[in-house]
Amino acid sequence: MVFGWGKKKKEESREEFIQNKEIKLSDVRKVVTDLLELRTSQTISEIKNLRNSTAPLINELIKIGNHLEKDDLNVDDIDKHLAIIVVRGKKQVIDMIKKGVTPLPKVSSIDDAVQLNDLLNHILKKIGDVLGRQTRVIHIFAKKYASQLKENLEIMNSNHAEIRKILQNFDSTKKSSEYIINTMDEITSLKQTKIEKIQKISDTNNNIESLQEQSISLLNSIQEIKSSESYQNYIKLKQDLDEFESEKSRIKNDIDAQFTKISRPLSRYEYASSLEKDQKIILTKLVNNPFDVLNHTYKDSVILILENIRKAITSDSISVKDVDKTMTNLTETEIALDSFVNRVSDYQEKHDKMLKDLKSLKPAKLDSLESELTKTSSFQEDYLQKSKTLQSEIDEIDSKIPKLFKEIESKLREYSNTKYTLLTS
């Protein structure tokens, strides 16, 4: 620092009397407001005093500038070149004082205090820059001004440092008060959110109870239907149908076993022949699943296909390893055809009748009741999960609020001699 001003004063330690006090959360806002108002008043008062003790120093600086301007510093007695440097340095110092050193504003608010701090900072920086460059000129050729400037600027710099410190402390207090107010608002919001979530849990539990009653009613209705004689007949017929459907596998196995014997000529005929679309479809099914076309509707078409295969083998249009055996298998298949068709038709007829009877016996409301029961159970699960989620969120709020209380207590302690304890009830 120029001229050695700006040395920090040793801070005297002081013991603070700490008072304990319990308050409600609703009282915190007033405590914070009162403390902030007190700190604001103290800050303005302290800075006003510092301003009043600094203002005369500004006047002295201006006087020093005026005296320096009139003083020729005996430059006529020194080397001409050195004289030029001294005169230039003197002019810079005088210009700086005239242009940069201005009267200090009155302090009646925090904004005024901030303005004062900025102005002093600007003045001291300007003085420091110029005197730093012209320190030799002042110390050697203007000694009587050097000590005055040094003493003056030391006090000014000390006052400015104190003003800056006071403003920093006030800013910290203001931020703490804002934090406390925001935290209070957060607690209030969390408490309101908790009330809303508790109400939602209550509504959700009511819905669960209603759905439980609905489920019991549906179960009773379903049980009533299932205990009826009509439903027992339905179950019995359904079991009979399941057992009867195994007959299809036996018929199909017998048919597949026979048609496997002629699968080779059938496949070759499928690729070699140019049949009409309907015949082509029947032939394809004979190759892949003969059960589907062995009925009275397609019987004649099947016989025609088998005969055409026989002719194709005879004319060598289709080649087989053992002609006689293939012819025998074709004859055997044609002979068995009536039996297969009758078995398939009898099965289909009985199966269709059983399905029709089963449909007529099936309770009309059973499906809708069971579907409704499934939906009701699903809704219950959703509401139960919602209730758990809401309770988890409430638990989180209950865990967070005490921490926020502690943070408020800690912040209050930062700028108050009273140790406040917040009542949670």
pLDDT at residue 4, rounded to an integer? 39
Which residue has better confidence, 323 or 270? 323
Match 């002629």 to its residue by tokens.
262
What percentage of residues in the chain have a pLDDT greater than 70?
Answer: 82
Confidence of residue 66 (pLDDT cuts 50, 70, 90): low
The pTM (predicted TM-score) of the whole model is 0.60
What percentage of residues in the chain have a pLDDT greater than 90?
Answer: 42
pLDDT at residue 170, rounded to an integer? 92
pLDDT at residue 8, rounded to an integer? 42
Using one digit for the tens of pLDDT, what is the confidence trace for 309-365? 888 888 888 888 888 898 999 999 999 999 999 999 999 999 999 999 888 888 878
* Mean pLDDT along residues 245-274: 85
CA distance 98 to 357: 117
Confidence of residue 25 (pLDDT cuts 50, 70, 90): confident
pLDDT at residue 9, rounded to an integer? 43
pLDDT at residue 11, rounded to an integer? 43
Match 């068995």 to its residue by tokens.
336
Of the given ranges (185-189, 202-206, 275-279, 309-313), which has the lowest mean pLDDT? 275-279
CA distance 223 to 217: 10
CA distance 246 to 236: 16
What's 264-299 look like in SS3? HHHHHHHHHCCCCHHHHHHHHHHHHCHHHHCCCCCH
- CA distances to 225, 240, 362 from 366, rounded to whole Å, are 7, 20, 8
Q: pLDDT averaged over the chain? A: 84
